[in-house]
Amino acid sequence: MSSDDIHTPVLLDRCVELLAPALERDGAVLVDATLGMGGHSEAFLRRFSGLQLIGLDRDTDALRIAGERLAPFGDRVTLVHTVYDGIAKAVASTGRDRVDAILFDLGVSSLQLDVADRGFAYAQDAPLDMRMDQSAGTTAADVLAAYSEGELRRIFERYGEEKLSARYARAIVHARADGPIDRSGRLVDILQAATPAALKSAGHPAKRVFQALRIEVNRELSVLERAIPAALDLLPVGGRIVVMSYQSLEDRLVKREFAQASASTAPPGLPVELPEHAPRFKLLVKGAEQASDDERARNPRATPVRLRAAERLREGA
């Protein structure tokens, strides 16, 4: 199966529209901080003939596929194996300290969802891995084996916003006494058995638990909390950033960081705002934009997306 068959970039035209003003000059640099299979990056490289791309991904399979896809663009493309909170170091490795535009397309990728043995999808029985970088780190099966009932409850509550977190944590601890929970099919069975009959029609019981495990395994929120400020610091005046989130925890974090960057730091009651107190960034969209009904129909994975964008107005202190 080709990358085109399994990957339809979300909000592609809108991303191009928002970042274009920062990329018009020859030699402009775009960082795709979540390269995936390169769908967004390919479109930017085709649209802007002088564009230089720095593509980041922690997933070695994604880097391989994107590398093949972007090979026709030759030395205009630099790919870096890193988590996106390593964005500043990755940019520095190319001899730069600033870039013109940055794109984040957060969450689990089409590749990770569609390859069953990665363990991300609760609809397919597979080993419970869930690592975006399969070369290192703790798997979801490791988490289920080692975490206490209280720790499991905490991550289900915090990262999955799961109302039955205590019930599910207790069921997992009880079930693992009979053997390791190392396949998604067994975990789904445990969660379904622990779900009250009255709630079984309220959505799949595994959805939020699988989300929570994925976030915990990949440290997604702590990584994002470091990555957004680092990305903002890389942009010059006129530089732009677009971030697409797919669940509320990510979007809240991005909203907070953008709000801080676009707020005046003038003390209350100051009659005139001094230049050093002026906002460093301006927001380019009102609130968070969503995909159109047409795009959702064509690409169901666009349904939960929330897009935010900003442009640097001035240098920091």
Residues in the annotated binding site for S-adenosyl-L-methionine = 38-40, 57, 84, 105, 112
- Rounded distance, CA 299 to CA 121, Å? 17
Tokens encoding 36: 């995936």
Pick out the residues of the known binding site: 38-40, 57, 84, 105, 112
Q: Which of 47, 66, 69, 71 has the alpha carbon at shortest distance from 55? A: 66
Q: Helix, strand or coil for residue 78?
A: strand
CB 306 within 8 A of CB 251: yes
Q: Which residues pair with 78 in a beta bridge?
A: 54
Task: Of 101, 39, 98, give the one whose Cα is nearest residue 70.
Answer: 39
Polymer length in residues for the chain? 317
Contact 242, 235 (CB under 8 A): no
Q: Where would I find the beta strands (DSSP E) of 236-286?
A: 240-245, 281-283
Q: CA 274 to CA 137: how far, in whole Å?
A: 48
